[in-house]
Amino acid sequence: MTLNGEQLGRDQETEPTPNVLILPPSLERELSDTDDALGALGRPFDHRSPFFIGLNAGFGVAVAYVIVRGIADITTVLVIIGLALFLAIGLNPIIEFFVHRGIRRWIAVGLVTLGFVAIIVGFVLSAASPITHEIQALVKNYPRYKANIAAGRGWAGKIAVKFHLTSYLRGKRKFKLPVGGVLGAGKALLSLGVATISVIALTIYFLFALPGVRKLWLSLVPRSRRPRVELLTDEVFSRVGGFMLGNLFTSLISGLGTYIWLLAFSVPDALLLALLVALFDLVPMVGSTIAGIIVSLVAFTKGASIGFATLAFYLTYRYVEDYLLNPRVMKRTVKVSPGLTIIATLIGGTLLGLVGALVAIPVAATLQLILQEVAFPRQNQR
């Protein structure tokens, strides 16, 4: 069957025209001249080749190394920020107590800050007079103390003889303090001072900004899960605040016990030493130990028997507080079992030292809450 000219023309008119890019003659001529001059385009590189795979893997390892190295370099800063945020969350129940009674938040933060400053200033002022008196007495009696120790008299003299320290006291051998040790100690003290000031400043800032921080955290959560995450966040805040209140309670008990013990044996400056123990006991693991050593040294001024008895008292109290009192208090305030309290404190102290021991119990309480409310129910649904 043949087609005449009219049918062929109609078919060509009804056939759709393909989308073809029509270039101007000059540009088409220029491109063709360029292709002829530089050659035709080759096939693209195969991104699945071993070279490209190895190159991408190398870049990935390099980026991961830079990220890990950067986090390691700012570990100290991250610890300071985390500690300040932890203290702010722990003090937040006190702020909320004032806010619920119609006081503005910035005024409540100011009142809490002034309260802690007043406690520290009062402690320093009360300690200034006894410390000055003891230093003056030490300077006055130093020649007699040195002569007795060098001669091996008294319990201190017997210790000096046992450890062969009498030759230093008699001046036969000179004790040289290494310069590097002095510079290292000065640098450590300076770093500690800067870190302490930074933690205090950031804690005050977080006390002001904690509602905004909480709102920002919830904004990062999908809307469908936000109500449940909000309830979990409030429970975490409550447990951290309970930890702070429990820690204050155990510190109060340690200070009261110290005051009664020192009064019973007529140790001087009993009230000051009791306040010192209560403040140091806020620091987990090592705080009560340091305070006990200081109080025992003061008790030795009343006699060796009283000094050793005081040392034994603090060793016993340290065991009772760490393994009996503190776990039971935390069970009521933080809702963490005594065994988990001890394990969390040991692990936290091993990983991050003093800061790790301080935040170990709240972190354990948070993990326990997430397991009970999120992980275990999902496992039961399967």
pLDDT in tens, 334-351: 877 777 777 887 888 888
CB 228 within 8 A of CB 116: no
- Which pLDDT band holds residue 34 (cuts at 50, 70, 90)? low
CA distance 322 to 345: 10
C-alpha angle with apex 378: 376 to 382, nearest 5 degrees? 115
Cα end-to-end distance, the chain, whole Å: 72
Could you state, in order of their start, the residue ranges of all structural domains in the chain?
Answer: 58-147+187-220, 227-374
Query: How confident is the model at residue 65, as a pLDDT?
Result: 92
Q: CA nearest 237: which of 54, 72, 91?
A: 91
Tokens linked to 191: 């770093």
Q: Which of 148-157, 256-265, 353-362 has the lowest average pLDDT? A: 148-157
Q: Give Cβ neighbours of residue 217 (< 8 Å, ≥ 6 apart).
A: 233
CB 374 within 8 A of CB 363: no
> What does the pLDDT look like over 221-241, one tens digit per residue?
898 888 888 998 888 888 888
Query: How confident is the model at residue 366, as a pLDDT?
Result: 85
Which DSSP symbol is given to 175? -
The tally of CA atoms less than 13 A away on the side-chain side of residue 45 is: 6
The mean per-residue pLDDT over the stretch 247-275 comes to 87
CA distance 186 to 199: 20
* DSSP code per residue over 181-228: HHHHHHHHHHHHHHHHHHHHHHHHHHHHHHHHHHHHHHHTS-GGGHHH
> What does the pLDDT look like over 291-342, one tens digit per residue?
888 888 888 888 888 888 888 988 888 888 877 887 888 778 787 777 777 7
356 vs 286, higher pLDDT: 356
Top mean-pLDDT range of 10-14, 231-235, 241-245? 231-235
Residue 338: CB atoms within 10 Å: 15
CB 149 within 8 A of CB 160: yes
Q: Which of 2-16, 57-71, 268-282 has the lowest average pLDDT? A: 2-16
Specify the residue for token string 């933690």.
199
Residue 368: exposed, middle, or buried by beta-carbon count in 10 A (0-12, 13-18, 19+)? middle
CB 348 within 8 A of CB 359: yes
The tally of CA atoms less than 13 A away on the side-chain side of residue 308 is: 4
Three-class SS state of 241: helix
Q: CA nearest 269: which of 251, 295, 237?
A: 295
Query: How confident is the model at residue 239, as a pLDDT?
Result: 85
CA distance 222 to 230: 11
Phi, psi of 366 (to 5 degrees): -65, -45
Query: How confident is the model at residue 8, as a pLDDT?
Result: 45
Three-class SS state of 152: coil
Does the structure show a pLDDT above 90 at 376?
no
- Which pLDDT band holds residue 354 (cuts at 50, 70, 90)? confident
Residue 121: CB atoms within 10 Å: 10
129 vs 58, higher pLDDT: 58
Q: Give Cβ neighbours of residue 300 (< 8 Å, ≥ 6 apart).
A: 306, 307
Query: How confident is the model at residue 66, as a pLDDT?
Result: 92
The mean per-residue pLDDT over the stretch 261-268 comes to 87
CA distance 157 to 147: 9
Q: Report percent pLDDT > 70 for the chain.
A: 78
CA distance 37 to 32: 9
Torsion of CA 242, 245, 250, 253, to 10 degrees: -140
